[in-house]
Chains A and B, each alone.
Chain A
């Protein structure tokens, strides 16, 4: 009896999985749509965020990720691949008056809200008024910025508006220029009705916008979602040709789009793609990407073959120094020594897999930014000299780095798809431990009997590097630096921290060397918006949080030269005075590099990878019409161009 019972129990444990599996069609997607998989485009959601039935995107706190590009529009988009300034809801560039107190915008005609109403100047006027006066705080800091600029808008025609800016600013339009977010237009005919129905004392922050009531300018509307945040399902509007993305691209996009979160483990995205349950993922580590290539025969990334990954997201990774305190790294010669103790070819190839572009300063060498920065500054970099001590001058820049990486790739049997500089970026600092040694000696340091470096006080020199593993390449860059500096004789502590603690340490200056990422320049090349926070007026001493001041005092820098350049850039129109603006930006870069305030190594790369089993038409290196970064606002154009393969 007991034997039978135990046998049956064990049998049940073994057979139950099969029975449960048989009871269901073995299909792991959480939704089904009319027409099946051939009508459904499935994308990787990046984050898991609890979803509630409120799509009032303007109010403070609402998560915009993943659906902003599908549903919302602003005046202009900046394409990160081409650098192109795309006219979205605006029909032309912004037009400023001479003292930048007025900005006129001509609106695009013929863009329809999903309820058939045409977008016009009334929507703009309503949006600005609502954001300034009818919310308790808004998304993206739009309310405080509009109020800070004392921005008013008036309708000058059915399809034209004029902004009056109380605080003159030649870059006011960037509030409406989206890379990730921009001020999204509200359907005035809907929002005004909602406003009228609010209870006394309530404002639009109390507006809960149900999916079934939504009216948008984008190509998709939400129809179903998981409240626990694993997925959201969108349906294409009935008239995709009247959406902005439809008008610009001429495409209609997949009938349904499902954003799904497979978890933090990269390998699960690879498994999902191999099962045909994911059409595109935004990034994985190289090992999971190789698994995808092995298990999903129709999958690819930006390049069909090596180096595969998309190399042009506008950001770069650097070893940043805390310039304040007792750290030896507060000494410029020490920082230069550390730069010359890094073998960038080995870092880029052995640690990063050869799949990212090298850059010596915090601007990624995209086509547009290379043209504006790396190309024009190349000769200056070649001529740059540093003092190794005793008057010995030294040229640290090595312009042959891309060729060396190309040689490494060819040794591995890879074919380099283009000129080494197009694929692997720019030159970098020479790997020269002898020169690095001289610089440390100049700084008063010496080697101990065991070859380890000692401080001028004769103490063992210990250098702490903090890094966050969730940014894979930045973390690997930090590991490479730790290995190479240890090899050079530095006692390095490599400290792994979770993102929150690591970021908080940045804010209060509780680090010695860290691995952040940033770009000084926008995709357009304009620098001031990204560096204005480095001004000394936002300086906070180490130990104090810089966030309450609003700027970026991560490095605790106080550089009068930089302050003057930032002030000068502020008054220059980045479009009509581009040459003057970029010249100032070059000076900023030069000062930063001469003082080696960061050791910048590589640009961002993303293994944004798509499977062409069900959908094709994603931008590629062969057809770089739009950025493939579908999670940014500009990603909508790539989505709109997708066509079914027939599965």
Chain B
């Protein structure tokens, strides 16, 4: 009971506050932008055609009312919360009247699939290789990997992505230029293999940089850790190196890595805009970009809501699970 009151409850309240403040800020910020969703929509609907100015003004008025933007910001804010609490994110202004939840539901699985997989691969390989390279830093293979990472890490993501496209899509023509899969979705090899086929380059482009980052972090942590007294004592005590590595060093370097993993998974909901644009891969990033570009308030709020909840929840989980990983926290 004491644990609930002193440790869990404050963190749950903090989570609620973060989400509330985040959503409120997300409601206000797009409305401070000079971009008006009604004008953007009307510009599209009347493009390449000449329209009677008085009729245009009338249509503009009716569209503002249709979107509910004729009401005061306070009224809009209250309406938004009342809808949100009923699970309704409202209609998209840019794709009116399609529900925002529908747009997000269409895009989100691609983002989760791509970023979830890429994060899992890069975290596992980066942490593992970094730890090994840190512990066996004098080995030839460790030095080779480190040099590769040192070269790859500073390369801007955009360059890596374009190089992959030029090599594998333009020159070798092994991989496609656009899309996420081919055929009807289903749990069959044809569809799954097409998912791998279409998603391989986008995932690889993310994995390269993300692995390099985690490699450097893991190696640095391991290098610090192996200089600790307890490691030297273990080595003098002839504890097998593999055991020192796996049971002591790796475990002690895991805490920041777990935090990184949790936050990275939470940040998945932000999407991967550049990846989606460069590889023409579906996902939430481009939806967000388009929404900001067109002043599509409801989509901006819908996506940001996910992101806020995702990261806040990840932080909460880290806080709640830290005692499991680190007995020192538990004791405190």
Contact = CB atoms under 8 A, between A and B. Distances in A.
Interface of A: 2-3, 6-7, 9, 16-18, 20-21, 23-24, 26-32, 48-50, 52, 54, 60-61, 63, 136-137, 139-141, 143-145, 148, 174, 179-181, 205, 226-228, 230-231, 260-265, 268, 271-272, 274-275, 277, 498-501, 503-505, 507-508, 522, 529-530, 532-533, 535, 538, 547-552, 632
Interface stretch (B9-17, B77-85, B191-199, B226-234): B191-199
Given A60-B66, A61-B96, A61-B97, A230 B179 contact: yes
B45 A148 contact: no
B50 interface: yes
Interface stretch (B56-64, B303-311, B321-329): B56-64
Interface in B13-37: 34-36
B118 interface: no
Given A16-B200, A264-B277, A179 B66 contact: no
A390 to B, nearest CB: 43
A148 B125 CA distance: 66
A48 B48 contact: no
B15 to A, nearest CB: 31
A139 to B, nearest CB: 6
B197 A61 contact: no
Contact of B293 (A136, A500, A632): A500
A152 B258 CA distance: 69
Interface string B41-80: 1111111111111111111111100100000000000000
B58 A148 contact: yes
Given A17-B204, A141-B46, A263 B293 contact: no
A547 B60 contact: yes
Given A60-B96, A228-B110, A500-B40, 20 more contacts: A18-B174, A20-B197, A26-B174, A30-B181, A31-B182, A50-B98, A60-B63, A61-B96, A63-B44, A141-B56, A179-B48, A181-B49, A205-B97, A260-B178, A263-B177, A263-B278, A271-B165, A500-B295, A501-B35, A530-B50
B286 interface: yes
A2 B136 CA distance: 10
A261 B66 contact: no
Contacts of B51: 140-141, 145
B7 interface: no
A73 to B, nearest CB: 16
Q: 6 closest pairs, A vs B, by CB?
A: A28-B176, A61-B96, A180-B48, A550-B57, A550-B53, A228-B282
Contacts of B55: 141, 144-145, 148, 550
Contacts of B59: 137, 141, 143-144
Given A140-B49, A141-B56, A226-B282, A507 B39 contact: yes
Contacts of A507: 39
Interface stretch (B100-108, B259-267, B312-320): B100-108
14 contacts: A6-B141, A20-B196, A30-B182, A50-B107, A137-B63, A180-B49, A226-B282, A231-B178, A263-B280, A504-B35, A508-B34, A532-B53, A550-B57, A550-B58
Residue from B53, B60, B139 with most neighbouring chain A CB atoms (10 Å):
B53
Interface string B252-288: 0000000000000000000000000110101100110
Given A50-B103, A141-B46, A498 B293 contact: yes
B169 interface: yes
B48 to A, nearest CB: 3
B103 A549 contact: no
A50 B287 contact: yes
A52 B197 contact: no
Contacts of A504: 34-36, 39
A139 B45 contact: yes
Contacts of A503: 39, 43
A7 B286 CA distance: 37
A61 B95 contact: yes
Interface in B206-261: none
Given A24-B194, A529-B50, A144 B62 contact: yes
Interface of B: 34-36, 39-63, 66, 95-98, 102-103, 106-107, 110, 125, 129, 132, 136, 139, 141, 145, 165, 168-170, 173-182, 193-194, 196-197, 200-201, 204, 277-278, 280, 282-283, 286-287, 293-295
Contacts of B57: 548-550
A145 B52 contact: yes
Contacts of A499: 293
A3 B280 CA distance: 38
A271 B48 contact: no
Given A9-B125, A530-B50, A28 B175 contact: yes
A63 B57 CA distance: 21
A505 B43 CA distance: 14
Given A52-B98, A230-B282, A3 B46 contact: no
A549 B35 CA distance: 18
B132 A6 contact: yes
Nearest to B299: A50
B66 A180 contact: no
Contacts of A148: 52, 54-55, 58
B169 A28 contact: yes
A174 B55 CA distance: 15
B173 A26 contact: yes
A491 to B, nearest CB: 26
Residue from A500, A501, A503, A522 with most neighbouring chain B CB atoms (10 Å):
A500
B202 to A, nearest CB: 12
B178 A261 contact: yes
Nearest to B168: A17
Given A148-B52, A277-B177, A49 B60 contact: no
Given A227-B106, A228-B282, A271 B169 contact: yes
Contact of B278 (A30, A226, A265): A265
B179 A30 contact: yes
Given A61-B95, A503-B43, A17 B174 contact: yes
A231 B183 CA distance: 13
Contacts of A277: 177
A535 B52 CA distance: 12
A181 B282 contact: no
B95 A49 contact: yes
A501 B34 contact: yes
Contacts of B35: 500-501, 504
A3 B179 contact: no
A507 B54 CA distance: 16
Contacts of A275: 170, 173, 177
Residue from B96, B97, B181, B201 with most neighbouring chain A CB atoms (10 Å):
B97
A538 B53 contact: yes
Nearest to A547: B39
Contacts of B194: 24
B277 A263 contact: yes
A522 B169 CA distance: 42
Contacts of A552: 53
Given A49-B95, A500-B40, A230 B52 contact: no
Contacts of A551: 53
Contacts of B170: 271, 274-275
Contact of A21 (B129, B175, B204): B175
A56 to B, nearest CB: 11
B217 to A, nearest CB: 18
A134 to B, nearest CB: 15
A263 B278 CA distance: 7
Contacts of B40: 500
A18 to B, nearest CB: 8
A272 B287 CA distance: 24
Nearest to B53: A550
A169 to B, nearest CB: 9
A503 B294 CA distance: 11
A28 B197 CA distance: 10
A50 B96 CA distance: 11
B144 to A, nearest CB: 9
Contacts of A260: 178
A522 B62 CA distance: 28
